[in-house]
Amino acid sequence: MATKTETKQAAPAKQEGLQRIPYPFAAIIGQERMKLALILNAINPQIGGVLIRGERGTGKTIAVRGLADVLPMIKVVSDCRFHCNPDDPSEMCASCRERFEKGEKLPREMRKVHIAELPIGATEDRAIGTLNIEKAIKEGIKALDLGILADANRGILYVDNINLLDDHVVDVLLDSAAMGVNVVEREGISVSHPAKFILFGTMNPEEGELRPQLHDRLALQVAAFTVNDLKSRVQIVKNAEEYEKNPEAFRDKYVNETKALTARIEAARKFLPQVEIPTGYLRIIARISTELDVDGHRPDIIVVRTAMTHAAFEGRKQVTEDDLRLAAELTLNFRMRRTPFEEATLGTSKFQQVLDHAKKMEEQARERLAKRQATISQKAEAAAPKTVAGAVKGKTK
């Protein structure tokens, strides 16, 4: 084989995909929690993904696919397969960085955040990329065929029925989710490229549980229920029929709502850096997760980010208690589950209780501290005449 040693990256044999009009996100009735969780992730990718658990036929898949329409725009290098950020060399793929360092001005354009879908039947090699046999046989070049992980870089990777995903593909997902880099080491190819994505998954728990490691990777978790209120039920049927009859017309009907939501998400995205969280709240969050016996520190961080994002979505500069409760609910509810047999979903009211409890404990702690400080300073004052007053004051402060 006349192998050229250089490893080239070639685009896969990607034919123009079938573009079906998704059911509009704004036309989904009920399921407010689920929609909110998705929106928060669209605003702030740092949150790190959503898992939607729910019975069959509750609109899980529709919601994620519909989200594509309301996603914000990002700046990308227009001729890069990995949708690299043209201004940040630390996140670039090897070829973009090389060009950047040479001082080349990278061509750029604005694009919607991309949802790459990983079908259940996907093989491992399509997920991570593999040897391009067309090039190998015809031209004798060892080239990499990029996988879905490359496509998902700086976007969203969506797996429907994520609990049914093959173990080996899950391993690959976990690796790159942790490192933000996809390393392809197979069939004589060795390449790595950035693969930073947020993971969206939907699953029906009746079909089997999710692997714990994957569970931990999905930041927010929400449950989708059958909508039981009669009026909504009727409306859902009407919408479904209308959409089925003419998807295009149905989408146009909701175009204003879609635009409004997109604009709100864009605004929240811009506003996010200005949002502040009172320092006292961080202690409360730490208390809550200790109280609920949650593993690891990741949940605490996610709660903070989610609370801030929700504040931004509501257009508030300050994180409030409501944001905190909501964030805790979205983040911690499924994480406290110790054994698979404990039904461990707490309602909003229960979370309010936990929050109140944490606040009370925090207050008590503060009071105790204040008391102790008071006694110390009293003692100090009593002792002050005998020593140098300034030094003691400094200590007790």
Tell me the β-bridge partners of 224.
54
**Which of 308, 293, 289 has the alpha carbon at shortest distance from 355?**
289
Report how far residue 239's alpha carbon sits from residue 228's, in angstroms, rounded to the nearest whole number: 16
- Residue of 119, 278, 280, 296 that binds other proteins (CB under 8 A): 119
Q: Which is nearer to other proteins, 232 or 290 (CB)?
A: 232
**Which residues in the 89-118 window bind other proteins by CB under 8 A?**
117-118
Angle between helices 348-383 and 389-396 (to 10 degrees): 170
Q: Is 298 a catalytic residue?
A: yes
Least Cβ distance, residue 228 to other proteins (angstroms)? 6
Q: For residue 235, count CB atoms less than 10 angstroms from its CB and return exposed for 0-12, middle for 13-18, buried for 19 or more.
A: middle
175 is a contact residue toward other proteins (CB under 8 A):
no
Least Cβ distance, residue 18 to other proteins (angstroms)? 5
Report how far residue 278's alpha carbon sits from residue 260's, in angstroms, rounded to the nearest whole number: 30
Least Cβ distance, residue 202 to other proteins (angstroms)? 11
Least Cβ distance, residue 93 to other proteins (angstroms)? 19
Least Cβ distance, residue 278 to other proteins (angstroms)? 39
Q: Which is nearer to other proteins, 4 or 368 (CB)?
A: 4
**Number of chain positions touching other proteins (CB under 8 A):** 72
**Which residues in the 124-153 window bind other proteins by CB under 8 A?**
124-127, 130-134, 136-140, 145, 148
Residue 238, token pair as written in the block: 């009407």
Report how far residue 266's alpha carbon sits from residue 258's, in angstroms, rounded to the nearest whole number: 12
**Which residues in the 42-61 window bind other proteins by CB under 8 A?**
55-59, 61
- Residue of 230, 349, 382, 386 that binds other proteins (CB under 8 A): 230
6 is a contact residue toward other proteins (CB under 8 A):
no
In contact, 44 and 179? CB cutoff 8 Å: no
From the candidates 211, 264, 298, 337, give the one annotated as an active-site residue: 298
**Which residues in the 235-294 window bind other proteins by CB under 8 A?**
236-238, 240-241, 244-245
Phi, psi of 297 (to 5 degrees): -100, -10
Residue 87, token pair as written in the block: 């201004």
The number of C-alpha atoms within 13 Å of 285 and in the hemisphere containing its C-beta is 31
Known catalytic residues?
A: 298
